[in-house]
Amino acid sequence: MHLVKPTPKYAESWKEALKELEAEGTKGFWNIPEKPTTIEEYIQRTKDHKEGKNLPDYWVPASTYWLIDNDIFVGHVNIRHELTEKLKKLGGHIGYAIRPTERKKGYGTKILELALKEARKIGLKRILLTCDDNNIPSQKIIEKKGGNLKDKVTVEGKVVRRYWIDI
Protein backbone atom coordinates (compact mmCIF):
# COMPACT_ATOMS: atom_id res chain seq x y z
CA MET A 1 0.00 0.00 0.00
CA HIS A 2 1.47 3.34 -1.03
CA LEU A 3 0.78 6.86 -2.25
CA VAL A 4 1.38 7.77 -5.88
CA LYS A 5 0.92 10.90 -7.91
CA PRO A 6 -2.17 10.62 -10.14
CA THR A 7 -1.33 8.49 -13.17
CA PRO A 8 -3.18 6.89 -16.09
CA LYS A 9 -1.97 3.50 -14.80
CA TYR A 10 -4.83 3.41 -12.28
CA ALA A 11 -7.38 5.34 -14.37
CA GLU A 12 -9.99 2.58 -14.52
CA SER A 13 -10.17 1.96 -10.77
CA TRP A 14 -10.05 5.74 -10.19
CA LYS A 15 -13.08 6.20 -12.47
CA GLU A 16 -14.91 3.39 -10.64
CA ALA A 17 -14.16 5.05 -7.31
CA LEU A 18 -15.41 8.42 -8.57
CA LYS A 19 -18.70 6.80 -9.54
CA GLU A 20 -18.99 5.40 -6.00
CA LEU A 21 -18.17 8.76 -4.39
CA GLU A 22 -20.48 10.73 -6.67
CA ALA A 23 -23.33 8.22 -6.12
CA GLU A 24 -23.22 9.00 -2.40
CA GLY A 25 -23.09 12.74 -3.09
CA THR A 26 -19.46 13.26 -2.09
CA LYS A 27 -17.67 16.14 -3.77
CA GLY A 28 -13.93 16.61 -3.86
CA PHE A 29 -11.10 18.39 -5.58
CA TRP A 30 -11.52 16.12 -8.64
CA ASN A 31 -14.76 17.87 -9.62
CA ILE A 32 -14.56 21.36 -8.16
CA PRO A 33 -14.90 23.91 -9.65
CA GLU A 34 -15.66 21.70 -12.65
CA LYS A 35 -15.20 18.05 -13.49
CA PRO A 36 -12.35 17.33 -15.93
CA THR A 37 -13.29 15.53 -19.13
CA THR A 38 -10.25 13.23 -19.26
CA ILE A 39 -7.75 11.65 -16.88
CA GLU A 40 -5.00 13.61 -18.64
CA GLU A 41 -6.80 16.89 -17.91
CA TYR A 42 -7.20 15.87 -14.27
CA ILE A 43 -3.51 14.93 -13.96
CA GLN A 44 -2.42 18.22 -15.52
CA ARG A 45 -4.70 20.09 -13.14
CA THR A 46 -3.08 18.39 -10.13
CA LYS A 47 0.39 19.22 -11.45
CA ASP A 48 -0.61 22.86 -11.96
CA HIS A 49 -2.16 23.09 -8.51
CA LYS A 50 0.99 21.75 -6.87
CA GLU A 51 2.92 24.57 -8.54
CA GLY A 52 0.26 27.18 -7.71
CA LYS A 53 -0.76 27.59 -11.36
CA ASN A 54 -4.31 28.02 -12.67
CA LEU A 55 -5.81 27.95 -9.19
CA PRO A 56 -9.41 28.99 -8.62
CA ASP A 57 -9.56 32.21 -6.58
CA TYR A 58 -10.19 30.49 -3.27
CA TRP A 59 -7.64 27.64 -3.66
CA VAL A 60 -4.04 27.35 -2.47
CA PRO A 61 -1.13 25.28 -3.83
CA ALA A 62 -1.65 21.62 -2.98
CA SER A 63 -0.17 18.19 -3.67
CA THR A 64 -2.50 15.36 -4.69
CA TYR A 65 -1.81 11.68 -4.14
CA TRP A 66 -3.70 8.45 -4.63
CA LEU A 67 -3.66 5.56 -2.17
CA ILE A 68 -3.05 2.34 -4.10
CA ASP A 69 -3.39 -1.16 -2.68
CA ASN A 70 -2.88 -4.27 -4.83
CA ASP A 71 -2.87 -2.07 -7.96
CA ILE A 72 -6.31 -0.65 -7.10
CA PHE A 73 -7.20 2.98 -6.39
CA VAL A 74 -8.49 3.07 -2.82
CA GLY A 75 -8.58 6.80 -2.01
CA HIS A 76 -7.13 10.21 -2.62
CA VAL A 77 -5.53 12.86 -0.45
CA ASN A 78 -4.91 16.53 -1.02
CA ILE A 79 -2.18 18.26 1.02
CA ARG A 80 -2.55 22.02 1.06
CA HIS A 81 0.78 23.84 1.30
CA GLU A 82 -0.70 26.87 3.09
CA LEU A 83 -3.99 27.96 4.63
CA THR A 84 -6.41 30.78 3.94
CA GLU A 85 -8.67 32.13 6.67
CA LYS A 86 -11.47 29.93 5.32
CA LEU A 87 -9.28 26.80 5.32
CA LYS A 88 -8.31 27.55 8.93
CA LYS A 89 -11.98 27.04 9.81
CA LEU A 90 -12.98 24.34 7.36
CA GLY A 91 -10.65 22.14 5.33
CA GLY A 92 -7.28 22.44 7.02
CA HIS A 93 -4.04 21.22 5.47
CA ILE A 94 -5.18 17.71 4.54
CA GLY A 95 -8.35 16.45 2.93
CA TYR A 96 -8.87 12.84 1.96
CA ALA A 97 -11.55 10.37 0.94
CA ILE A 98 -11.70 6.60 0.76
CA ARG A 99 -13.95 5.03 -1.86
CA PRO A 100 -17.14 3.70 -0.22
CA THR A 101 -16.49 0.02 -1.03
CA GLU A 102 -13.12 0.18 0.76
CA ARG A 103 -14.16 1.91 3.99
CA LYS A 104 -13.84 0.37 7.44
CA LYS A 105 -10.69 -1.49 6.39
CA GLY A 106 -8.06 0.82 7.93
CA TYR A 107 -7.40 2.82 4.76
CA GLY A 108 -8.38 6.15 6.33
CA THR A 109 -5.72 5.73 9.01
CA LYS A 110 -3.13 4.65 6.45
CA ILE A 111 -3.79 7.50 4.02
CA LEU A 112 -3.49 10.07 6.81
CA GLU A 113 -0.28 8.47 8.09
CA LEU A 114 1.28 8.59 4.62
CA ALA A 115 -0.02 12.12 3.98
CA LEU A 116 1.64 13.36 7.17
CA LYS A 117 4.98 12.03 5.89
CA GLU A 118 4.47 13.86 2.57
CA ALA A 119 3.48 17.05 4.40
CA ARG A 120 6.73 16.91 6.35
CA LYS A 121 8.66 16.56 3.06
CA ILE A 122 7.18 19.83 1.74
CA GLY A 123 8.23 21.62 4.92
CA LEU A 124 5.07 21.65 7.02
CA LYS A 125 5.67 21.19 10.73
CA ARG A 126 2.18 21.58 12.13
CA ILE A 127 -0.94 20.29 10.40
CA LEU A 128 -4.51 21.46 10.86
CA LEU A 129 -7.20 18.85 10.19
CA THR A 130 -10.93 19.45 10.34
CA CYS A 131 -13.97 17.20 10.34
CA ASP A 132 -17.67 17.55 10.99
CA ASP A 133 -18.59 17.15 14.63
CA ASN A 134 -20.78 14.16 13.79
CA ASN A 135 -18.10 12.35 11.72
CA ILE A 136 -16.99 9.86 14.37
CA PRO A 137 -14.79 7.75 12.02
CA SER A 138 -12.74 10.82 11.00
CA GLN A 139 -12.43 11.94 14.62
CA LYS A 140 -11.06 8.53 15.58
CA ILE A 141 -8.57 8.49 12.69
CA ILE A 142 -7.29 12.00 13.45
CA GLU A 143 -6.95 11.27 17.16
CA LYS A 144 -5.23 7.93 16.47
CA LYS A 145 -2.59 9.78 14.40
CA GLY A 146 -1.91 12.30 17.18
CA GLY A 147 -4.52 14.97 16.56
CA ASN A 148 -5.23 17.27 19.49
CA LEU A 149 -8.64 18.92 19.48
CA LYS A 150 -8.13 22.68 19.44
CA ASP A 151 -11.76 23.72 19.36
CA LYS A 152 -15.11 23.46 17.65
CA VAL A 153 -16.38 26.20 15.35
CA THR A 154 -19.63 26.67 13.49
CA VAL A 155 -19.17 27.07 9.74
CA GLU A 156 -22.11 27.44 7.39
CA GLY A 157 -24.44 26.09 10.07
CA LYS A 158 -22.32 23.00 10.82
CA VAL A 159 -20.18 22.33 13.86
CA VAL A 160 -16.61 21.58 12.79
CA ARG A 161 -13.87 20.07 14.95
CA ARG A 162 -10.37 21.51 14.45
CA TYR A 163 -7.34 19.40 15.33
CA TRP A 164 -3.60 20.07 15.24
CA ILE A 165 -0.90 17.47 14.68
CA ASP A 166 2.79 18.32 15.13
CA ILE A 167 4.89 16.41 12.59
Rounded Cα–Cα distance for residues 12 and 149 (Å)? 38
Helix (H, G, I), strand (E, B) or coil at 21: helix
pLDDT of residue 123: 96
Q: Is the peptide bond before 8 cis (omega within 30 degrees of 0)?
A: no
Do residues 64 and 134 make contact, with C-beta atoms less than 8 angstroms apart? no
Query: What is the tens place of the pLDDT at every residue in 60-104?
Result: 999 999 999 999 999 999 999 999 999 999 999 999 999 999 999
pLDDT of residue 16: 93
Q: How far apart are CA 26 and CA 84, in angstroms?
A: 23
Over the stretch 28-52, which tens digit does the pLDDT of each residue have? 666 566 777 788 999 999 999 999 9
Q: Quick one: pLDDT at residue 84? A: 94
Q: Domains (ranges, CATH) in the chain?
A: 2-124 (3.40.630.30)
The rounded distance, in Å, linking the Cα atoms of 28 and 18 is 10
In this prediction, residue 36 carries a pLDDT of 78
